[in-house]
Each structure stands twice: as C-alpha cells, then as structure tokens.
Structure 1
Amino acid sequence: MKKNPLKLIIAALIISASLGIQSCSEDEYSIITIPAIGIAQDPGNFKGDIPSGQTVTLDPTQTYQLTGSVVIKNGGKLVIPAGTRIVATVGASAFVIVEQGGQLFANGTSGSPVLFTSSDKTAGSWGGIVVCGKAPINVGPSATSEIGNSMYGGTDTADTSGSLSFVRVEYAGAVYTGDKKFNGLSLFGVGNTTKVENVALVNGGDDGIQLYGGTVNVSNIVSLANDNNAFVWSEGWKGTASNIFTKRKADGTGNTGIKGMNNPNNQNAAPRSNPTIKNVTFIGGTTGEADAIQLKSGTYANLENVVISNWNTGVNLESDSTVAYFNGKKRMKDIFFDSNVTTKVSAKSSAGNNVAILDSTYIEKADATGAGNGIATPAWATGWSGLQ
C-alpha cells in the first residue's frame, strides 16, 4: 500500500507537539533557582549598597543575616519574595533604607509574610525600615531624614518607592543618634503610587509607623506593643489611612494610638497635614501619654468609624488652628468610646488654655466597627501580623 507523504508529515508534527506539551508540563514542577547577585551573594553577611541599574532578588529558602545597613540607591531595586526571613544583628547599624529613586518590593502573603526580626528578641535591638521619596513636605522643598541622613521631599505626588505587602517588622527602634530613634517603618516624603498595605510593626523600641509628609496611602496596618506611639504623622502628610489596629503592651505601657501633627515650628506651614483616617481601633492604657488620638501643631484630619477603648482621653485637640478646624465641625463621626474612656474629647489652645468642646464636634456611634471587629482583633489581621 502506498503511503501518503502529507499524512506522514502531519503525524510527525502531532507527535512532536505532544512531546513538547509533555515537556512543558514536566517543567512546571522544576525548581526555579534565583541567581544571587550583589549583596545577596552572602546571606550570612547581608549588607551594602544596591546601585543604580541593579535588581537584587532574595531567595525565600534562605535566611538573611542583616549585619549592617542595606542602602537601595537611586535606580536600584531590592525584591523580597513571600516567606523570606531577614534577621538583624544587634545595633543601630543594622537597617534598610530606600533612597530617593530606589525601590523596595517586599511582597508576602497572609500565609507567608516577609519577616524582619532580630537575633536579640528585645524592643529596639536593631534599626528598622526607612523609605525616602520625592513627594511634598512642609519643612522646605527638600530635607534630610533624621534617621539615615538621606534626602527626601520634592514635588512628585505620584512618586513610587516600591511595595510593602504582608510584611512584619519586629523589635526595631534602636537609638540612631542622640535622642533620635528608628521607628518600625519610617516614610519620608513618600508618594501615592507606593503600596503600603498589610504591614505589622511589633514590639518596637519607639513609634510603630511614622509618616513625614508625602502623599502615600496606607491600609491594613497593625501597630502592636511598641514602646512609644503607634501611628504618627507630621510635615504635611496628605493621604488616607484605613483599617488600622493598634494595641499597647500587655502591661499597658506605651504612648498614644495616633499622634498627628502638621509642623511643630509653624502650625500653619503648607502643605498642611490633612489625612483621612477611617476604620480604626485603638486599644490603650492609662499611663504615659494616655490619649487614643492626639492632634496638634496645626494638623487637620477627617476621622470616620473609630473605636477607642481603655484611654484617659479619647481625642485630644491642641493648637489654635487644629482646635478651630475640629471644634463644632463634625469632622469626627461614627466614634465609639468604650465605657473605660475617662474623657471623650478635650481641647487646648496654643497657649495651653482649655477650650470648651462645642456641640457636633464629634458624632458617636455605638455599633462602630473600627478596624473591622470593634475592640477585638479584625479578621484581616490574624496570623501574619502576630495577632491571633
């Protein structure tokens, strides 16, 4: 029987395609090796600069010993995959800083967060994470960060410094110099295309998270058992903070839930701090600065869906311009003050005189949900953040 050459060619093509498909299927199960370049080549001595044009990607199967500063320079990128552990040695020399134009991509998952921790599991035993962007600030056209000594600020509201998602930072807050300490996460002039969500700042030696101007938006933030304030802003921050859960240490020590400021040296400096704060819960204590929310130095803000429990004062307003902005203006609404809050709202002028709180300064809501579950841990925060 004579064979048809065309049929033979078609049959050969089908067999070849089948083998190709089988080969691809098997490749899906192969292990992808991440090439170690630059400062990633020695996980036991992780430190140094990431220069312009270089992208360093860490291997999530490794544990990286942060033995000094990691500096992401303008044009450099550091990529930290889900599940990566970075363990800092003791001292202020161990920290991560993103300079203007650099980018940090630390993207974990709820089941496999990126973890920054310390070999000495005590508050303030290493530095922290510092990010410097090009968005507006009100202490000048630009400035030098008080920790890290890097330039920040500018005119680019949409500047991007990368992405932080499902990241937990533990035991940060070492003394940088003099009376200046690292925070868990410090955002200096960071722009609004930088992603900051699902970030936990735990057992720190100073503030949990602090924003120095900029336009960045943050969401799903846990600030837990830090020595100082849980959430701080100043220098003209204009952004949104949503789903924020803060809680003092088990012994009740610490300071404020929120400390919001404009500019301590010029309460009317522009751009003025004026964030939107919504869906937040503050669990506190009655020692130290026992205000759940302290708004001062000319800051504005709008607050919505707030739960406050176990504080001497729920909201403390200070400085003439801040008091004038809030007093009688309904800019704090859907607030639940637990029965253990001694004073719901108080106000003082710039001269330190008590100011009477006018009607409709705040609107209460008995069933406000705050960060999602009233005074209890919200579902979005369980597990990855250290909360159960």
Structure 2
Amino acid sequence: MKRFPKLMLLGLLSMAAALSSCEDNNDNGPTPPTPSGPTDSAGRVILTGEITSNRTLSANEKYLLQGNVYVTSGNTLTIPAGTKIFGDQATKGTLIIERGAKIMAEGTQNNPIIFTSAKAPGSRNYGDWGGVVLVGAAPTNRALTFLPEGGIRSLFGGTNAADNSGILKYARIEYAGVPLSTDPNSEINGLTLYGVGSGTTLDYIQVSYSGDDAFEWFGGTANAKHLVAFRNWDDDFDTDYGFTGKIQYGVSLRDPQYADQSGSNGFESDNFNPGTPANGTNDGLPLTAPVFSNMSVFVTAGAPVTTQQSGSGSYQSALHLRRNTSTSVYNSVFVGQPEGLRLDGTTTWANAQAGGLNLAGIVLANNNTPLRSANGTGTGAFTDADVQGWFNASGKNNSVVTGANLSTLGLNTNNFNLSAPNFLLQSSSSLLTGAVFTGKASDAFFTQGTFRGAFNGTDNWTQGWTNFDPQNTAY
C-alpha cells in the first residue's frame, strides 16, 4: 500500500475540514437580497411618506410602516403572496391607498399576506399600529369635502359605483386599530374602507386583535366574501355614510372579557350621526343599506357577559341598527351578546316598516334581551312588542333560541375555542337548513344554499390562511 508523506496527509485533512466547515455554514447557498431601501434595526425595509410611483414589494423582504404611508392617486402598490408588513407603534404606522390609487395584494390559501405588529412574539397588543385604509371614489352620503377619521388627509367618495381600489385577498391584519389623534372617533380600524367601489376585490381577509372595529365601511359599494373578525375590541362589522355593498360569509369570534367603552356590537349600522336630514346625494343619501348574508357572530356559550374583567367597556348588542340605517341581514346566527337586536330610533323603525331594512333567516341565541326598541319616542314611537311582532312575521323564518336550548343549534364543540376554533356545524344542526334568499338576498352576488350562518358541516373556508394564535407566531 502506497503511503502519503506525513505533511501531505495533514494538508489533505485540513482541506477536508475546511470544506466541511463551508457546507455547515451554507456559504455556498444563495446570497440574501440587498434591501431595496433604508432598513430598521431588525433589517426591515422602511416604508414612510408617499409612494408616488408604481411599486412592487418582495416576499423575500420584510417591511416596516412608519407613520401614514400614502399610495398616491394614479399609482399601484403590488404586494406578492407571503409578504410580511409590520406596523410601527411609535409612529402609528398606517397604510393608506388614496382615491385613484390601487393595492394589488393577492395572497394564496397557503401563503397569505400578513400585516402585523412590529413587536416581538408575546408582547403584541391591541392597537399596536394603525391599520389598512382603502379610499375610493364610489358614492357616499357625506359631502365630498368630508375628511376621514383620525387625521387622514385623503378626500373620499364620488360618483363611480364601480370604482376599483384593487385587490385584497388571502390577507391577515393583526394588532391594528390605534387612535391617530386625541380627537373623538380618531381610531383606525383593522380594515377601513372609505367610498370604496364594487370594482374592488375583497375576499378571504382576517382582522385579529384590532383596538377598534374589525371592518368598517364608510359609504361606497364594495362587495366582500369570507371575512374573519377574531378577538377584536369594539364592533365587528360597522357600516356608515351610505354604504350599499353586499357581504357574504363572515364570522366573528370574541373574547368575552374584552370590549369597548362605547358598547361592543356584532353589527353596528348608522346612516351617519344623527342620521337625518337625508336631503339628497352627498347630503344624507344614499341611505346606508348594505345586504349581508351567512354571517356568524359569537361571543360566548355561557351567560352573556355584561361586565368585563379586562378592556374598557362591555358588550351591548348582536345588531345595533340606528340613525336611519336601512341595512338588511339574511341567513345569519348571533350568539352570546347581552342584547340580540336593538332597533334604535323612529327613522330606523320607519325603514323597517317600509321594507328597506329587513332581517330574514336570522337566529338570535343566548341573549338576556333578544329583541328591543330604543329611542322610540314621539311621532313614530315603537315598543319592544312592535319589534318582536316585526321580527317574527310570517315568511321571515327568524327565531330566538334561549341559552338553555343552545345545543339545538348543533354548533361545533370547538366553536368558542379562543386558540383553535372550529366553526363547522354538527350533522344534527338546525342551522343546516332554513336559509331565505328572497328580496335583497336574491341578488346574483349571493351564493344560494340551505344553511344559515357562515359555515355548513363540510366546507371550512378558514383553513390554511388564517391564524388564531398570532401572539406566539414568529414572523
């Protein structure tokens, strides 16, 4: 056997060790991309000020919103699937797509786009940053010089019902909803929509731990499907300023111990404050008249909570419909609020009597006071008994279920699980049948089925893209 000289053997061993060390450190792997702009201490590319030309982000980078970030008119911000965007707390980072601009943010079921807190896992909280705001040119009932809440500079609304603000699909918005000023009503919601038109695509969107509402529509005609509101602070689905869009398949799950000082509701709907006079276009008209179908709003299967151990206020109503609203809700289930339906004000009651405001296929369950009137005095006054008679009218297929009979709904055993909920119905559920698709719900936008609420027993449309434990997720 031929022998290597000792020095040659040592040299070969050293070379092998060096090669092994290189492989362990992955020095031969792909070179990380050079950041496309200034970065913060965590290496996230900073987005600040105005985006005044078309810009495409990269899923290989992480981004930090500092202050109000405006995508200006005529420009498009494209966000690929899997991109992660963080909101800065100190500067109340907020992404605002102005009127005439677009967002093209289309994630996938297995690779959603994520907007979240810049804080580390375990330290995130309600209202860590501003949120996502879309501003469009669709009709509203406010003057066209009216400005959004929270000091946002962008005028909204117009005459283009089909206005297109882009796409937001398979996206999560977490820990947003911070007050942007000390003025009343200065909060930004998880997703805020000002005068957004029906040309916009909104589908598969989750808002979690918002410090204000989950979703709020200020006028416009935008339609949406597959919305998830998870453990938010104030209202889940809030409509104002003449919103007339259509929404199908939405679910809310609340933490019973967190609510807002204003009284948290599943649905809150106003024409505007105070709701009248409604004299004409951009002056009270159009009336707020969205149509919702297949919504599920859950607080608790236990006794409805009227005082909170945490938060700043308490729960109020499953549906608080007030200030001359003409909203309609079909084929939906509401469980665990202290009140079920609160019809508020004589103008709201008049809209219900005229058929503009309608509820059908509705289940109110586990409420202390399922049906009530509010502020119904003077001309047009109405009572709790009037509301009950209207709600229970023939053909509506509405029902009230007591807490003692909640099991008849056949909800999933994990329906109220705050870390791993499952909303699919049991095969025995009474909600699998009884849907009503008449009147406004007969519109072609709505997929007609037999079940009430957002889920049947087989199609879990939250699977793959949602996250019900964002506090412990390392982004």
> Could you tell me the TM-score, scaled by structure 1's length?
0.83
Matched, 1:361 2:391: yes
Q: Could you give the per-residue CA deviations for residues 54-83 of structure 1, whole angstroms, max 9, x where no partner exists? A: 221111111112233321000111100110
2:131 aligns to what? 128
Q: Is 1:265 aligned to 2:281, yes or no?
A: no
**Counterparts of 2:91 and 2:195, CA distance in 1:** 22
Quote the offset at 1:150 in angstroms.
1.0
8 Å CA contact retained: 2:233, 2:258 = no
- Count of aligned pairs: 352
Distance 1:209 1:132 in 2: 14
Which residue identity does 1:370 align to in structure 2?
G
Q: Deviations over 1:116-159 (max 9, x none)?
A: 00123111011111111111111213421113121101111111
Q: Report SS of the residue matched to 1:86.
A: strand
- The gaps in structure 1 that reach 5 residues or longer are 1-30
Cα contact 2:206–2:466 (8 A) shared by 1: yes
Give, in whole Å, the separation in 1 of the partners of 2:163 and 2:115. Answer: 25
Q: Does 1:164 align with 2:183?
A: no
User: Structure 1 residue aligned with 2:295, among 267, 280, 286?
Assistant: 280
> 2:388 aligned with 1:384, yes or no?
no
**Secondary structure in structure 2 of the residue aligned to 1:60:** coil
Q: Please, which moves more after superposition, 320-329 or 260-269?
A: 320-329
Structure 1 residue matching 2:387: 3-state secondary structure: coil
3-state SS in 2 of match to 1:298? coil
Give TM-score scaled by structure 2 length. Answer: 0.69
Task: State which drifts further: 40-49 or 239-248.
Answer: 40-49
Structure 1 residues 37, 385: closer, same or farther in 2, change over 3 A? same
Q: Counterpart in 1 of 2:245?
A: 239
Deviation at 1:351, TM superposition (A): 4.0
Change in Cα spacing, 1:123 to 1:378, as seen in structure 2 (3 Å) is farther
Do the aligned partners of 2:66 and 2:91 also contact (CA within 8 Å) in 1? no
1:14-63 per-position Cα deviation (integer Å, ceiling 9, x unaligned): xxxxxxxxxxxxxxxxx9x9998788998432223211xx2211111111
User: Using a 3 Å threshold, how does the CA distance of structure 1 residues 77 and 261 change in structure 2: closer, same or farther?
Assistant: same
Number of the residue aligned with 1:293: 319
Matched, 1:174 2:178: yes
Question: Once the 2 structures are TM-superposed, how far is the Cα of residue 247 of structure 1 from its aligned partner?
Answer: 1.6
Matching of residue 334 in structure 1 with residue 368 in structure 2 = no
8 A Cα contact 1:34 1:57, kept in partner: no
1:372 aligned to which of 427, 451, 455: 455
Residue matched to 2:146? 143
Specify whether residues 35 and 274 from structure 1 end up closer, same or farther in structure 2 by C-alpha distance, changes over 3 A only: farther
- Could you list the runs of 5+ residues in structure 2 that have no partner in the other structure? 1-29, 279-283, 307-313, 400-429, 432-450, 470-475
Aligned residues of 2:376 and 2:382 also touching (Cα < 8 A): no
Query: In the TM superposition, what is the alpha-carbon distance from 1:196 to its structure 2 partner?
Result: 1.0
User: Conserved in 1, the CA contact under 8 Å of 2:321 and 2:348?
Assistant: yes
Cα distance in 1 for residues equivalent to 2:257 and 2:85: 28
SS at match of 2:149: coil
Contact 1:40 1:56 in 2 (8 A): no
- Helix, strand or coil at the partner of 1:359: helix
Aligned 1:41-120 pairs, distance under 5 A: 43-51=44-52, 54-120=53-119
Q: Secondary structure at the match of 1:384?
A: coil
Amino acid at match of 1:271: P
Give the SS at the match of 2:287: coil
CA contact 2:346–2:382 (8 Å) conserved in 1: no
SS in 2 for 1:323: helix
Residue 201 (str. 1) matches residue 207 (str. 2): yes
Structure 1 CA distance for aligned equivalents of residues 60 and 382 of structure 2: 58
Query: Distance in 1 between the 2:46 and 2:37 partners?
Result: 12
Quickly say closer, same or farther: Cα 1:359–1:131, change in 2 above 3 A: same
Residues 1:248 and 2:254 aligned together: yes
Q: Distance in 2 between matches of 1:84 and 1:130?
A: 18
Pair 78,249 (structure 1): closer, same or farther in 2 beyond 3 Å: same
Structure having the higher strand fraction is 1
